[in-house]
A and B are shown apart, each in its own frame.
Chain A
Amino acid sequence: MDDLEQLRGEALRDVAAASSVDAVEAVRVAVLGRSGQLTQRMRGLGALDPDARRETGAALNRLKDEIAEALEARKAELGQAARAQRLAAERADVTLPVPPDTTGRIHPISQTIDEIVAIFGEMGFAVAEGPHIEDDFYNFTALNIPPEHPARQEHDTFYLPERADGSRLVLRTHTSPVQIRTMLAQKPPLRIIVPGRTFRCDHDATHSPMFHQVEGLVIDRATHMGHLKGCLIEFCRAFFGVDDLPVRFRPSYFPFTEPSAEVDIGCSREGGELKIGAGSAKGQQSWLEILGSGMVHPQVLRNCGIDPDEYQGFAFGMGIERVAMLKYGIPDLRTMYESDLRWLKHYGFLPLDIPSLVRGPLL
């Protein structure tokens, strides 16, 4: 047994002395390996009588377990140290900046169109579109603007060259021709909005030769001016996100609506800063014109083959740039079209920021 005790002492000393995983393995092979010291003794058991064999075998097994355990423990100890060393060596500077964000932006005009569509969509409107190069009938005549009508002169129309038959195509001066196209193609009830490009021969600080409008049209048997007010008040409050936004309807004139109304929203200009919403109690309520609207003129309905004694409804038109500028504090119309990257990144929107009424604005 002394022999065993000596083996134990030597083996455990070797384990403790092993300074690497490989050294531990070498100890294992020397003691527990195929021809290891302990293994050989196990083999020698066969030569002993049964009692001695049982006794010695048990002792050998105990020793084997003890050494194996010591080996594992030493191995784990060495592994941990090695990992700690590796981790220390892997230490990096986590204050390094991240790569630049290269996400692009959505233009405020596109985003605003999506916002407008989201609101009118909730009120049952569907988007319709039409061509930018229009003929006189759709852009003017069918809208109750005959050739000599003074309103036609105020439209600052862009013309394309005269054709063989003497007619001239125009760039549409408003989105209203799509009213005509829709009424000629579909039967009432109708509820459409038409966002799109429009063109006027005018260029200064507040006018651009191209801009965007959104047109709205509702035709059915019962819609009246009260509905026009209800619909547009709802829109203005939802769009500007001001629940108590004052909205004012003023009589006005458009050849294609009767009665007609301009729509103003309330604002205050206290301290030189424009704020959309009700003026404070002592500050005066100011107004900003944002929309033209009215009940569709009976002659326009007739021009589209719709009987004005049976159907009626309202139409409206709004400048998209104007409401975008008011909502997002964009000071200059012309910058919208300059494609200045600094401007686009400042006023643009993240592509994943998709307007939705139920999800609300991204604040």
Chain B
Amino acid sequence: MKTTVSWLKSHLDTSAGTDALVERLVMLGHDVDGVEDRGAGLADFVTARVVSAERHPQADRLRVCVVDNGAEHIQVVCGAPNARAGMIGVFGHAGVTVPKTGAVLTESAIRGVVSRGMLMSEAELKLSDSHDGIIELPSDTPIGARYVSVAGLDDPVVDIKVTPNRADCLGTRGLARDLAATGIGTLRPLDTTPVPGKFTSPVTLRIDDPTACPLFLGRHIRGIKNGPSPDWLKSRLESIGLRPISILVDVTNFLTFDLNRPLHVFDAGKIARGLTVRLAHAGEKMLALNGREYALDPEICAIADDNGVQSLGGVMGGEATSCTEATTEVFVEAALFDPIRTAATGRRLEIISDARYRFERGVDPEFTGPGLEIATRLILDLCGGEASEIVVAGAQPEWRRTYALRADRPKTLGGLAVPAAESRQILETLGFAVEGQGGELAVTPPPWRGDVVGEADLVEEVLRVKGYDDIPAVPLARDTVVSRPAIDARRRRADLVRRTLAARGLVEAVAFSFISEKAARAFGGGDARLRLVNPIAADLSVMRPSVLPALVEAAQRNADRGYPDVALFELGPLYRDDTPAGQINAAAGIRAGRTGPRDWRAKPETPDFVLAKSDAIAALAAAGAPADSVQTSGDPPAWYHPGRAGVLRLGPTVLGHFGELHPDILEAFDVRGPVAAFEIFLDAVPAARAGRARPPLRLSVFQPVERDFAFIVDHAVPAETLLRAARGVDRKLVTEIRLFDLYEGAGLPDGKKSLAIAVTLQPQDATLTDAEIEAFSQKLVAAVEKATGGVLRG
């Protein structure tokens, strides 16, 4: 919502300057987006008459002009084709700065003729892009006056972000009323004297659907002459960026922005009999004032005559009954349209108009009549003619509501003690009716304040007029002296996962929750229920079934930028369905390229499934999973390499996947492989054992013994089978089993491999004897051979 300082002052009697008014508006809740001083940089330019304009002796296209700036006659050389004797223009004396170029005008000789200044064009003053010669001012313009005053450019434009609740402030008067309540000035009275009707309107009114439009007033004005508006009106509209069109249109725009009273004028000569407010019929069409034809439906509020729909109630008028320069009789509409219906109409037809914006926020129901009177008077003043009596359809809806304001509520809710008498005075200046004294006030909001619906709103009115600055800040008392944990165990674990992965060399990314449908399908998703109806782009249209696709895309982008060595992870949601339980917290990571730059010592590696598994296991351990009990199986989801990836489980629960990505995925995402990836599901990790105390630690005084065993097994036998069998032999005695060698090739039969383990035995009660060690070894060999079908390597 734009207005100007002088426009505000036409309603507000105040001596306050722009800065003070702006500051007060902001602290009232009307945030100011900007103050545009259109006269900035133009202060030194004055009006001047061209006394003579002769051809330059050395140049056909130039003129030597003598200019009267009110004080002296000055010679300038001018290249504008429209420079001529008698005209009044805008003069800049040598020494002033030209806004467009920033250059200072100097006295100089142009082709031998002295020039002591410049006659300005709009472009040079940065007023427009027009290069149509120098500015020509009306012949009655005073000479030697400041150009900004003459052009009305010394009136700063204030752009205000009116909050959706304050429909009343979508007119300048509403803002002035709020300002007046703070004591910065007084609200000037508004002349709403009725214009007596001279005849009965030939246009009749009927409301078929009072829910869409409870009240419709109208008035016929005949014998008018439409034409351009006077300068004051044009200047008002131009200052806020509206293009003046004709008196009839400009008057309706003026009332919209001055008094928040949208109106519509029909060319009465084009209305077939009367107007009816009703819902549109399916199949009806209307060509609107914006030049577009709209197909209507029964959700839409229409104003129709015998020929069909002529206007979209509260949204936009129709072309067929619009006013033109030739219009001689009009029918002025001042109606009350239902906010919800208006919003629905506007949204359905995708029309944003100043009228819709106001009706859907709610206009003052009491002001329908006064608004029509003011509009009538303006039209009669500017266009002549005579007005009919007012035609009325419907009735003004009841708007009076009364709320109690307990005297202590500004203090107990707002934190600022305000005496009841002061609360009362503030509310009354804002137009509220207040009854009662002392402990409880009965407050009736004015008709333009439909947003006030309870005591809390009244407290806000009192506080914002007093100023939020006056509310003393009070520390928020805490129940405990020492802080309590702010995050639960699950979130604490997630934090540890995040920092563990980063410590392992992965860089944290944050990617969007939505991805392309193609990517979603490639990673097991694409469920229609998770597809956005209104995505901003096709590649951000489906809720992601996995965190991985975004990381793979990121790897590709980084590689394209020349950084192919990628180690990224993200802790974030994936979406299995549209329920709250279907949103899973996951941790996923990928490594592509090499594990680091070339180095003289730390040789970089190519990421493989083992690295991905290491990351996954580290993340699971950080998440609180018993990492030693996690089982691995080689049945990965389809987006992984079928032979170089696996699933991590605890019993039947899938904790995550890891491995090298499938070549098809690499191809589809245009990434160079191999890419090692993992994804674990944090919500699937069982809650860790409660309690902080660690199990008792028994430190044996006896030497541990390490024994190595190598087994020859079939190629297909999983290492985990062997390790599990070895671990099961004597869980008390064995403290660690590590696979330290994997060998296939020369010296072994085809299809066989050798797996070598180091077993650490830690006796607790006595040093192990050779016989005991031998007995254990035999048991271990037997168990492994049984589980794997392999044999001890001789």
Could you tell me which A residues sit within 8 Å of B by CB distance? Answer: 96-97, 99-100, 102-107, 109-110, 114, 117-118, 120-127, 129-133, 148-151, 153-154, 158-162, 168-169, 171, 193, 197, 199, 201-203, 209-210, 218, 222-231, 233-234, 248-253, 258-262, 295, 297-299, 312, 336-342, 344-345, 348, 350-352, 354
Give the residue name and chain of the B residue nearest to A200 (CB). Answer: B536
| Residues of B contacting A341 in the complex (Cβ-Cβ under 8 angstroms) | 507, 558, 563, 566, 568
| Residues of B contacting A105 in the complex (Cβ-Cβ under 8 angstroms) | 502, 507-508
1/0 contact trace for B402-436 toward A, CB 8 Å?
Answer: 00000000011111100000000000000000000
Using known A-B contacts A110-B508, A133-B583, A224-B412, determine if residue A124 contacts B479 with beta carbons closer than 8 Å: yes
Using known A-B contacts A203-B536, A298-B454, determine if residue A226 contacts B471 with beta carbons closer than 8 Å: yes
Q: Is the CB of A312 within 8 A of B568?
A: no
| Residues of A contacting B511 in the complex (Cβ-Cβ under 8 angstroms) | 337, 339
Q: Is the CB of A126 within 8 A of B485?
A: yes
Q: List 24 A-B contacts (CB under 8 A).
A: A102-B596, A104-B569, A121-B484, A124-B478, A127-B487, A132-B513, A133-B543, A161-B528, A203-B536, A224-B474, A226-B415, A229-B471, A231-B475, A252-B31, A258-B454, A261-B468, A295-B414, A336-B510, A339-B510, A339-B511, A341-B558, A344-B507, A344-B508, A352-B503
Central interface residue in B165, B415, B476, B500, by most chain A CB within 10 Å: B476
B457 close to A (CB within 8 Å) = yes
Give the residue name and chain of the A residue nearest to B572 (CB). Answer: A197
Bound CA span A250–B25, Å: 10
Bound CA span A261–B483, Å: 28
Q: Is the CB of B575 within 8 A of A249?
A: no
Q: Is the CB of B563 within 8 A of A234?
A: no
Bound CA span A350–B508, Å: 11
Central interface residue in A225, A231, A253, by most chain B CB within 10 Å: A225
CB distance from B63 to the nearest CB of A (A): 43
| Residues of A contacting B514 in the complex (Cβ-Cβ under 8 angstroms) | 209-210
B264 close to A (CB within 8 Å) = no
Bound CA span A226–B491, Å: 32
Of the candidates A197, A218, A251, which one forms a contact with B27 in the assembled complex, judged by CB atoms under 8 Å apart?
A251
CB distance from A186 to the nearest CB of B (A): 13
Give the residue name and chain of the A residue nearest to B506 (CB). Answer: A104
Q: Is the CB of A352 within 8 A of B499?
A: yes
Bound CA span A105–B510, Å: 12
Q: Is the CB of A124 within 8 A of B480?
A: yes
Of the candidates B476, B483, B495, B503, which one forms a contact with A234 in the assembled complex, judged by CB atoms under 8 Å apart?
B476
Of the candidates B411, B415, B530, B536, which one forms a contact with A160 in the assembled complex, judged by CB atoms under 8 Å apart?
B530
Central interface residue in B499, B561, B602, by most chain A CB within 10 Å: B499
Segment 666-723 of B: residues with Cβ below 8 Å from A = none
Bound CA span A223–B413, Å: 8
Of the candidates A129, A210, A249, which one forms a contact with B468 in the assembled complex, judged by CB atoms under 8 Å apart?
A249
Bound CA span A2–B602, Å: 69
Give the residue name and chain of the B residue nearest to A116 (CB). Answer: B486
Of the candidates A102, A158, A160, A338, which one forms a contact with B578 in the assembled complex, judged by CB atoms under 8 Å apart?
A160
Give the residue name and chain of the A residue nearest to B602 (CB). Answer: A99
Using known A-B contacts A125-B486, A252-B31, determine if residue A229 contacts B474 with beta carbons closer than 8 Å: yes
Bound CA span A230–B27, Å: 19
1/0 contact trace for B569-587 toward A, CB 8 Å?
Answer: 1011101001110110000
Of the candidates A199, A312, A339, which one forms a contact with B509 in the assembled complex, judged by CB atoms under 8 Å apart?
A339
| Residues of A contacting B573 in the complex (Cβ-Cβ under 8 angstroms) | 132, 197
| Residues of B contacting A171 in the complex (Cβ-Cβ under 8 angstroms) | 513, 532
| Residues of A contacting B504 in the complex (Cβ-Cβ under 8 angstroms) | 104
Q: Is the CB of A100 within 8 A of B487?
A: no
Q: Is the CB of B563 within 8 A of A121?
A: no
| Residues of A contacting B569 in the complex (Cβ-Cβ under 8 angstroms) | 104
Could you tell me which B residues sit within 8 Å of A by CB distance? Answer: 26-29, 31, 163-166, 339-340, 343-344, 347, 360-361, 411-416, 454-457, 459-460, 463-464, 468-469, 471-476, 478-480, 483-488, 491, 495, 498-514, 528-537, 540, 543, 550-551, 554, 557-558, 561, 563, 566-569, 571-573, 575, 578-580, 582-583, 595-597, 599-602
Using known A-B contacts A127-B491, A133-B543, A148-B344, determine if residue A227 contacts B557 with beta carbons closer than 8 Å: no
Bound CA span A110–B508, Å: 9
Using known A-B contacts A105-B508, A337-B510, A351-B499, determine if residue A117 contacts B487 with beta carbons closer than 8 Å: yes
Of the candidates B360, B476, B484, B508, which one forms a contact with A104 in the assembled complex, judged by CB atoms under 8 Å apart?
B508
Q: Is the CB of A100 within 8 A of B456?
A: no
Q: Is the CB of B471 within 8 A of A249?
A: yes
Bound CA span A100–B532, Å: 44
Using known A-B contacts A99-B602, A153-B347, A161-B529, determine if residue A225 contacts B456 with beta carbons closer than 8 Å: no
List 8 other contacts, CB 8 Å, given A209-B514, A249-B469, A251-B28.
A224-B415, A225-B468, A229-B471, A250-B27, A251-B29, A337-B511, A337-B512, A341-B566
Bound CA span A117–B488, Å: 12
CB distance from B551 to the nearest CB of A (A): 7
CB distance from B360 to the nearest CB of A (A): 6
Of the candidates A158, A233, A249, which one forms a contact with B535 in the assembled complex, judged by CB atoms under 8 Å apart?
A158
Q: Is the CB of B568 within 8 A of A351?
A: no
CB distance from A351 to the nearest CB of B (A): 4
Please report the number of residue pairs spanning A and B whose Cβ atoms sit closer than 8 angstroms. 272
Bound CA span A337–B512, Å: 7
Bound CA span A55–B118, Å: 133
Of the candidates B414, B495, B561, which one forms a contact with A114 in the assembled complex, judged by CB atoms under 8 Å apart?
B495
Q: Is the CB of A259 within 8 A of B495?
A: no
Bound CA span A201–B468, Å: 33
Bound CA span A107–B165, Å: 38
Q: Is the CB of B550 within 8 A of A100?
A: no
Of the candidates A126, A251, A252, which one forms a contact with B487 in the assembled complex, judged by CB atoms under 8 Å apart?
A126
CB distance from B168 to the nearest CB of A (A): 13
Bound CA span A129–B455, Å: 31
| Residues of A contacting B454 in the complex (Cβ-Cβ under 8 angstroms) | 258, 298-299
Give the residue name and chain of the B residue nearest to A297 (CB). Answer: B456
Q: Is the CB of A298 within 8 A of B483?
A: no
Bound CA span A153–B532, Å: 17
Q: Is the CB of A345 within 8 A of B536?
A: no
| Residues of A contacting B414 in the complex (Cβ-Cβ under 8 angstroms) | 224-225, 259, 295
Central interface residue in A162, A340, A351, by most chain B CB within 10 Å: A351
| Residues of B contacting A203 in the complex (Cβ-Cβ under 8 angstroms) | 536-537
Bound CA span A259–B460, Å: 5
Give the residue name and chain of the B residue nearest to A150 (CB). Answer: B164
| Residues of B contacting A225 in the complex (Cβ-Cβ under 8 angstroms) | 413-416, 463, 468, 471
Using known A-B contacts A148-B339, A253-B164, A253-B166, determine if residue A159 contacts B505 with beta carbons closer than 8 Å: no
Give the residue name and chain of the B residue nearest to A151 (CB). Answer: B164
Q: Is the CB of B536 within 8 A of A229?
A: no
| Residues of A contacting B464 in the complex (Cβ-Cβ under 8 angstroms) | 251, 259
CB distance from B142 to the nearest CB of A (A): 36
Bound CA span A337–B413, Å: 41
CB distance from A263 to the nearest CB of B (A): 10
User: When A and B form their complex, which 5 residue pairs have the shortest distance between CB atoms, in order from nearest?
Assistant: A226-B415, A121-B486, A251-B29, A259-B460, A339-B554
Bound CA span A202–B535, Å: 9
Using known A-B contacts A104-B502, A127-B491, A132-B513, determine if residue A259 contacts B459 with beta carbons closer than 8 Å: yes
| Residues of A contacting B472 in the complex (Cβ-Cβ under 8 angstroms) | 226, 229
Q: Is the CB of A230 within 8 A of B513?
A: no
Bound CA span A259–B602, Å: 62
Give the residue name and chain of the A residue nearest to B554 (CB). Answer: A339
Bound CA span A193–B476, Å: 14
Q: Is the CB of A258 within 8 A of B360?
A: no
Q: Is the CB of B599 within 8 A of A295?
A: no
Using known A-B contacts A253-B29, A342-B563, determine if residue A159 contacts B533 with beta carbons closer than 8 Å: yes
Using known A-B contacts A127-B488, A225-B413, A341-B568, determine if residue A209 contacts B460 with beta carbons closer than 8 Å: no
Bound CA span A352–B500, Å: 9
Give the residue name and chain of the A residue nearest to B457 (CB). Answer: A258
Q: Is the CB of B31 within 8 A of A250?
A: yes
Q: Is the CB of A150 within 8 A of B415?
A: no
Bound CA span A172–B508, Å: 24
Bound CA span A336–B570, Å: 13
